């Protein structure tokens, strides 16, 4: 079977599962709502960053994106559905690539739309405090957010293929982001700047004093994603469905 019909069939799976579409809508709603709330925050803090404040809803919103990536792959393991998929597409690498494409593209599109809406909602609340943002900075923030959402969805997809369980992926990634990275990272600094979420979020800042720049941070996140996808592909090839 050629790649196009495989891609079409995997896309239909995503479009026909309400839970998957629901997680993307949730990512949009949560990110936009939290960014709008952040727009009403105090702007007198000397460390105030208007771009990061406007896109701060990405932090809770990414949980829904991670769930999307995990569920898109874990749905194959419910009721041994993976056996049917691989019976139709014996070339496991081709099937896995098609699955990743239908995870990456919706996550990227939703990330771009969400970032644009969140930025607009937050700017309405920030008022003059956001006037200093240049067009280039705002474009970088929106595009960077879309890429970041895509990478986090792919990270979850790769780990789910490795663990063969969406629950295991969520139980690993969500505490990691909320506790290890968010809490310990603020205290430890240094090497924690190279964690997948913290590195990728540098693109959301107008100015950042850390080791990584905006695009270098996304590159570090992409390396984490590549490692997870390679591990997931290895598990898929080496174990019976």
pLDDT, tens digit (0-9, with 9 covering 90-100), for 200-217: 999 999 887 778 889 999
Cα separations in angstroms, 140 against 14, 51, 176 = 29, 10, 26
pTM for this one? 0.93
Task: Report the C-alpha dihedral over residues 24, 166, 150, 91, rounded to 10 degrees.
Answer: -120
More confident residue, 78 or 60: 60
Confidence of residue 185 (pLDDT cuts 50, 70, 90): low
pLDDT given for residue 69 in this prediction: 96
Q: What is the pLDDT of residue 71?
A: 95
24 alpha carbon, distance to own chain's centre = 11
Residue 33 has pLDDT above 60, yes or no: yes
pLDDT of res. 57: 94
pLDDT, one tens digit per residue, over 119-171 is 999 988 888 877 888 999 999 999 999 999 999 999 999 999 999 999 999 99
Contact 74, 13 (CB under 8 A): no
Q: What mean pLDDT is predicted for residues 78-85?
A: 78
pLDDT at 181 over 80: no
Dump pLDDT digits (tens) for 192-202. 788 899 999 99
Structure tokens at 75: 């749905």
Domain boundaries, the chain: 3-238
Buried b (16+ CB within 10 A) or exposed e, 40-58: eeeeeeeeebbbbbbbbbb
């Amino acid at each position: 079977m050629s790649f196009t019909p495989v891609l079409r069939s995997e896309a239909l799976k995503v479009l026909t599962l309400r839970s998957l579409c629901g997680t993307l809508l949730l990512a949009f709603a949560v990110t936009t709502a939290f960014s709008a709330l952040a727009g009403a925050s105090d702007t007198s803090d000397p460390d105030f960053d208007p771009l990061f404040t406007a896109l701060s809803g990405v932090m809770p919103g990414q949980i829904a994106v991670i769930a999307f990536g995990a569920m898109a792959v874990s749905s194959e393991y419910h009721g041994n559905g993976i056996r049917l998929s691989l019976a139709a597409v014996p070339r496991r690498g081709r099937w896995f690539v098609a699955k990743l494409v239908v995870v990456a593209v919706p996550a990227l599109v939703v990330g771009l739309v969400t970032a644009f809406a969140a930025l607009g909602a937050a700017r309405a609340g920030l008022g003059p405090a956001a006037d200093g943002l240049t067009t280039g900075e705002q474009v970088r923030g929106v595009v960077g957010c879309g890429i970041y959402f895509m990478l986090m969805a792919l990270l979850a997809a790769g780990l789910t293929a490795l663990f063969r369980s969406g629950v295991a992926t969520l139980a690993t990634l969500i505490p990691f982001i909320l506790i290890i990275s968010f809490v310990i990272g603020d205290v430890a600094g240094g090497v924690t700047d190279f964690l997948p979420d913290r590195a990728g979020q540098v693109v959301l800042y107008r100015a950042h004093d850390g080791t990584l720049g905006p695009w270098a941070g996304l590159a570090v996140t992409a390396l984490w994603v590549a490692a997870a996808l390679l591990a997931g592909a290895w598990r898929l090839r080496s174990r019976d469905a």
